[in-house]
Structure 1
Amino acid sequence: MTIIQFQPFSSLVEPAFWHALNNMKIDVLKLSDDFIPVTGSYAPGRSITDRESGQDIAMPSALTLAGDAFSEDPQIPKYAVPVTGLLKNYNTIEEFKAADKTALFNELSDEIWKSIQAGSTAKLTKFLLITFADLKKYRYYYWFAFPAFVAKPAWEAGGDWQSASEALSPETISAVHDALHTQARPFFLVRTSSATPEIAPIEELQTFFEGVPPEHRLVGFVDPSGAPSNPGWPLRNLLAYLSHRHPSLFSDAAGLRVLCWRDAARSRVGIVKGPSSAQDTGARPSAVGWEKNPQGKLAPRMADLAPTMDPKRLAEQAVDLNLKLMRWRILPELDLERVSNTRCLLLGAGTLGCYVARGLMAWGVRTITFVDSARVSFSNPVRQPLFTFEDCLDGGKPKAECAAENLKKIFPGVNATGHSLSIPMPGHPIPPASVEQTQKDVALLEQLFDNHDVIFLLMDSRESRWLPTVMGAAKGKIVMNAALGFDTFLVMRHGVRKELAKGDRLGCYYCNDIVAPADSLTDRTLDQMCTVTRPGLASIASSSAVELLAALLQHPDGVNAPAPAPPKNGQLPDPHASGSVLGLVPHQLRGYLAEFRTVPLKGAAFSRCTGCGDAVLEAYERDAWALVRSACDETGFLEKLSGLDELYREGEEAIGDVEWVDEEDDDM
């Protein structure tokens, strides 16, 4: 008699599985190390013939985990059988190394044994996988366990294993082939006592083999082994099940006939003999089954995906990782998809535009579009982080296109584009030769507004913000505004027009003014033409604008998020009661760098505003180009349209009605 040597299970983990574990860890598990179910599969083993020696070389089938292993309905390859398991992922490599592997193994072995006692074969191949996913380096440490019960005394083979084509009739082989290809099952029974062989599940053994002579009984399993004399690992637990549930099968001296199904040509048939009552006490036998590593040692393995991954994919996952980690402990309610799906249009690719773009990209925004008419100059790179010295040569590259190009060099996953166009400004007449081009620029600007969700006003003059303010209000867009002084800054979000407002209507950039925007650029000295600010001010203002947008996007009311009330006795409202998981969503932020102080303010909309007043918006919707021409070319047009001229007259009349009293007369 020869003791049966079983072919151990081997594992094969597809790269897609590790990507799926990445997503599961980041989005679902987070800091949890609970067991989660996984589903793998294994196929019949096979062998190939060596061309030189003519010998068969065994090609065992591995237990494979694919990218859909976490799915409730994974796709099992043709001719393979599904196998369920448990995965336990640890949060640190130290926890992974220190895990009580004996306790984990025994816990699963107990579960398998209880299922045997209950008469089920569903868990005979259940496995355990412990992992640690190093998400920053894309290294995955893992160890499989395939618990199998040890028989004492050991199982023995009653002779040599034979080819199934020699030991069985063609009808039997054909019946098994057809049955397994119709319904994949890891274990099965074959009855050959009738003219047509019959197939049944293992659970029906008592009735299926009743009255059937031993020579017409076959117990079969899908065999992942390809070795001619070594059946695969699943047979160990199948024999433990049969010995415990049906010990009489082994009481016959002839033994039990076992079919190791591989395929019609390579399947093997053998006689198994062993203890008839070794496991009938109900006590669980000892078990073995931790997988050895490629060096043949009982130790974990490591999969390093970084060298095989597309660097762009690595960058994208790394950006997402840093953001998604916020949701693990700090902000589980954070809606990152709402931020990443927001399309942002940046009007101005200067100091503010460069810093805002970097902040948006850090928040995961994937669509960023620049608009600017200037070229990169030698003074720009030190203050504007999207430009280099080379960008200044030969007259300088167009700022908008250059900023977009360099943004993609930083992160290839961003959809960045640039457009060189000039925005018409009130008080700056349009030369006759430029009318046609200016009209095209306005049409392109309108199209860009339609294709984006958020508009940033980051220009360096007051009048250049007028047309975008009107467009943003008319189209109901989120408009974010940032402006710099020497050591002060303003960051604000514009309110929406009256028809779209819910609650108090917040003002826009022009609502605090009773003066229409006009030419502020002509006859200025050099220090007035350049934006002279303290070097750190732009990054502070830009970051504040981006964070204000992020808080606004997390508010359920979005663009209509109410502004917090002014501070009372120096106390701000509770940020946790604001409605946004990121805290307060102020209307305006006034920053004073000399005092290192930021003050939140709230301003109401002005009915006669030249940027968002009803009269201006209605004129824009009637004929946008006519409004632009008139505002640029006609002095006093916006004052008359908005009603500011009437306000001036009312003010003059009110002053004229005042009775001034001479102090000397009063003394008399």
Structure 2
Amino acid sequence: MPLVQFAPFSSLIHPSFWHELTNLKIDVLRLSDEALPISGSYSVGRSVTDRESGSEIALACNLTVGSESFDKEIKASPGTILASGTFKNYNTIEEFKAADKAALFNHEVNKIWDRIVITRDTRFLNHFLLITFADLKKYKYYYWFAFPAFVAKPAWEILDDGWKDATEEFSAEQLFKIHEQLRSRSSPLPFFLIQHDASIGPVEDFASFFGSTPTERPTIGFVDPSAHPTNPGWPLRNLLAYLRALHPGSSSTLRVLCWRDTEIPISSWKSRVGVIKVESGKQQETDERPSAVGWEKNPQGKLGPRMADLAPMMDPTKLANQAVDLNLKLMRWRILPALDLDKISSTKCLLLGAGTLGCYVARTLMGWGVRTITFVDSARVSFSNPVRQPLFEFEDCLAGGKPKAECAAARLKKIYPGINASGHSLSVPMPGHPVPATSVAQTKKDVERLEALIAAHDAIFLLMDSRESRWLPTVIGAAKGKIVLNAALGFDTFLVMRHGARCTGLPPNSSRLGCYYCNDIVAPSDSLTDRTLDQMCTVTRPGLASIAAATAVELLVSLLQHPDGMHAAAPQANQDPGLPTDGSGDSVLGLVPHQLRGFLAQFRNIHIVGAAYDCCTGCSETVLQAYEKEGFEMMLKAFNDSKYLPTLTGLDKLYDEGEAVLESVDWDEDGDADF
């Protein structure tokens, strides 16, 4: 008599599974190679009709996994059977290759056998194992499935005329009854017993299901994932092992219904039936585990892993979306588990100035995963720009030059299409730069545009060339409660600072850090007129701008990670970075200083803490309240009258007091004093 041949499971993996594994690896597993539960599913076997010959061609006996396979609350969809599994992902390809496959396999086989002997539960009979290695940089996934199945010794044989159509053993009414019972159950039944009247029941009831009258050929059924006419599906192997282990005296000859019908109405029944037998000369003891097989073969027909390469299938934009954050998420694996990347990526940044500082700030912001970057600049790209400003190229300088802001934004989108970048050509009005009567209306529109842009963003970077151009956004940013960061360059020195947050309802300057203007007793005025060429250009050491820009961005990110945010207190000023601090100004990234002054000639940075000044022309309550009360009219006064801000803040009185002190000093005009 011919031996029973079983159709092995073949893995079918939806691409969504790999995407979910990528997210799981980066955000949850990280460096863990702990084994996790997983789920798969299968349904009845299917076939297709050959157009030329008209014959039926059986499709593979598939077990499918998808993105939902990691869901612990997954439920079977109609017509499908869930299979439990064990998933283990390795951190390196070397670990994947060197894994003790035999030990892993035997561990899962023992779990299945223990379930049979101890709990007599059939739900674990379709258990599987999946080991993987995910190369997240190349989007290549190495994997190997095992579908453990016990080996029957001696082997099962098929009796009579072999496998036949179910209609040769069951009437149409009986098959409909079986179909309705399977469909009406709240949870799918992968294995079942069948009475003479076509009533079905769970396999766990084998000892009592057929009543007191013993039957020579008990009828068992299972949802068959195979469509092969003579080869039942892989689940039958463990079902037979289950029955031989628990009921050796009454399971040596069985009638098997391979259930392959799910559609209604049914034009022709696809299910198969056959009688199988195993020699029962020696009954198998329940504590004797049979050997098992089940590692899946690769496409070459050899025992070995497979590889899924998703890169050619993926949209390049989606590839970029996943890849740009990879380095950031890797930080949380070992170094910074508490790093809040969502807070960084959701921060909208406004860059006032698209020159050397603006270009480098934008690139560093992108590196940190910031998704919204807006440029404001009134200039055009010139031939001296591309070598120092990395967002511009030679072609951008031709025909008078492209507008810097729009050109920089467009270049960011070329670098990474997922960025929300925009540019605005806008001239920022400045104190001490009178506005002609004919230009008042346009200046008002420019101010309103700047106010709207600042209101729509979370962090404002002041990256302009002149001192007075920073005044207007300083006032607006302070009034609207925005994070304001300053970066300014000298020849071999730089200043990076965060403006102190406004402390409403508290005593003047209480626990408040100063702004860019708090250390000055001179109101911003016209510093651009009558400058020589070297004064009109920012003459600095070429590496200084990138250092200052990166420092400014890192200061913003550290501030965002601080529990107090923009209200974070500054650490104690400390000129020796090797000395310990009290940690009061720390975020998960370390210190959150107020000001950093860099000296490239000595390759040295120092921290400075500056308190807010109640006569400050940029952030004092006097100035902010005047702006909130008068709006553009107050600004127009500052633009047109260089004495307005000193008078408003009281700096003019400070000047007068200084002059009076100087006049009261008795100077030695002879200059012959001894030293």
TM-score class, shorter = over 0.9
Change (3 A) 1:176 1:656: farther
1:79–1:180: 8 Å Cα contact kept in structure 2? no
TM-fit CA distance, 1:317 = 1.4
| 1:355 maps to 2:360 | yes
Corresponding position of 1:273: 277
SS of alignment partner, residue 325 of structure 1: helix
Corresponding position of 2:196: 193
Corresponding position of 1:161: 163
Corresponding position of 1:296: 301
* Cα distance between partner residues in 1 of 2:491 and 2:648: 33
| 1:112 maps to 2:123 | no
Corresponding position of 1:442: 447
Corresponding position of 1:341: 346
* Cα distance between partner residues in 2 of 1:38 and 1:382: 54
TM-fit CA distance, 1:653 = 4.4
Change (3 A) 1:611 1:187: same
| 1:537 maps to 2:544 | yes
Corresponding position of 1:506: 513
* Cα distance between partner residues in 2 of 1:175 and 1:113: 33
Tell me the TM-score normalised to structure 1 length.
0.95
TM-fit CA distance, 1:212 = 5.4
* Cα distance between partner residues in 2 of 1:176 and 1:500: 77
* Cα distance between partner residues in 1 of 2:558 and 2:167: 72
In structure 1, the gaps of 5 or more residues are none
Corresponding position of 1:237: 238
Corresponding position of 2:488: 483
SS of alignment partner, residue 302 of structure 1: strand
Corresponding position of 1:639: 646
Give a deviation string over 1:472-529, Cα, whole Å, max 9, x none: 1111111110000111100000001121889721000000001110000011111111
Corresponding position of 2:24: 24
* Cα distance between partner residues in 2 of 1:503 and 1:44: 74
Corresponding position of 2:210: 209
Change (3 A) 1:286 1:278: farther
* Cα distance between partner residues in 2 of 1:623 and 1:356: 34
Corresponding position of 2:179: 177
Change (3 A) 1:343 1:123: same
* Cα distance between partner residues in 2 of 1:193 and 1:266: 20
TM-fit CA distance, 1:205 = 2.5
TM-fit CA distance, 1:335 = 1.1
Corresponding position of 1:257: 255
Aligned-residue Cα RMSD (Å) equals 2.2
Change (3 A) 1:664 1:647: closer
* Cα distance between partner residues in 1 of 2:104 and 2:584: 45
* Cα distance between partner residues in 1 of 2:666 and 2:421: 63
Corresponding position of 1:458: 463
TM-fit CA distance, 1:579 = 3.4
* Cα distance between partner residues in 2 of 1:176 and 1:649: 104
Q: Which of 553, 556, 561 is matched with 1:554 structurally? A: 561
1:12–1:63: 8 Å Cα contact kept in structure 2? yes
SS of alignment partner, residue 2 of structure 1: coil
| 1:136 maps to 2:137 | yes
* Cα distance between partner residues in 1 of 2:577 and 2:303: 65
TM-fit CA distance, 1:340 = 0.9
* Cα distance between partner residues in 2 of 1:570 and 1:74: 54
1:188–1:199: 8 Å Cα contact kept in structure 2? no
Aligned length: 662
Give a deviation string over 1:427-473, Cα, whole Å, max 9, x none: 01112222222111111111111111100000000000001000111
* Cα distance between partner residues in 1 of 2:673 and 2:381: 66
1:466–1:517: 8 Å Cα contact kept in structure 2? yes
TM-fit CA distance, 1:207 = 2.8
TM-fit CA distance, 1:366 = 0.6
TM-fit CA distance, 1:55 = 2.0
2:218–2:251: 8 Å Cα contact kept in structure 1? no
Corresponding position of 1:85: 85
Give a deviation string over 1:55-103, Cα, whole Å, max 9, x none: 2211234111111211123364431111111111111111111110000
Corresponding position of 1:370: 375
1:42–1:81: 8 Å Cα contact kept in structure 2? yes
Corresponding position of 2:4: 4
Change (3 A) 1:174 1:577: farther
Corresponding position of 1:469: 474
2:432–2:638: 8 Å Cα contact kept in structure 1? yes
Corresponding position of 2:128: 127
1:187–1:201: 8 Å Cα contact kept in structure 2? no
User: What residue identity is the alignment partner of 1:211?
Assistant: S
Give a deviation string over 1:397-420, Cα, whole Å, max 9, x none: 010000000011111111100011
2:9–2:62: 8 Å Cα contact kept in structure 1? yes
Give a deviation string over 1:589-615, Cα, whole Å, max 9, x none: 001111111111110000110000001
* Cα distance between partner residues in 2 of 1:429 and 1:600: 37
User: What residue identity is the alignment partner of 2:520?
Assistant: D
Tell me the TM-score normalised to structure 2 length.
0.94
* Cα distance between partner residues in 2 of 1:172 and 1:575: 81
TM-fit CA distance, 1:168 = 1.0
User: What residue identity is the alignment partner of 2:535?
Assistant: Q
Give a deviation string over 1:106-141, Cα, whole Å, max 9, x none: 000000000000211121111000111011100001
TM-fit CA distance, 1:392 = 0.5
Identity across the alignment (%): 64
Q: Which of 387, 392, 395 is matched with 2:397 structurally? A: 392
* Cα distance between partner residues in 2 of 1:363 and 1:569: 28
Corresponding position of 1:60: 60
SS of alignment partner, residue 141 of structure 1: strand
* Cα distance between partner residues in 1 of 2:577 and 2:313: 56
Q: What pairs with 1:406-421 in structure 2 (closer than 5 Å)?
A: 406-421=411-426
Change (3 A) 1:52 1:211: farther
Corresponding position of 2:529: 522
TM-fit CA distance, 1:320 = 0.9
User: What residue identity is the alignment partner of 1:357?
Assistant: A
User: What residue identity is the alignment partner of 2:236?
Assistant: L
Give a deviation string over 1:325-345, Cα, whole Å, max 9, x none: 111111111111111111100
* Cα distance between partner residues in 2 of 1:54 and 1:212: 46
Give a deviation string over 1:369-405, Cα, whole Å, max 9, x none: 0000111011100000000000011111010000000
Corresponding position of 2:630: 623
SS of alignment partner, residue 214 of structure 1: coil
Change (3 A) 1:345 1:275: farther
* Cα distance between partner residues in 1 of 2:279 and 2:383: 89
Change (3 A) 1:569 1:259: closer
Change (3 A) 1:68 1:187: closer
SS of alignment partner, residue 599 of structure 1: strand
TM-fit CA distance, 1:571 = 4.8
TM-fit CA distance, 1:204 = 2.5
TM-fit CA distance, 1:162 = 1.4
Change (3 A) 1:230 1:541: same
Give a deviation string over 1:224-262, Cα, whole Å, max 9, x none: 1110110000000011111111223325xxx21111111
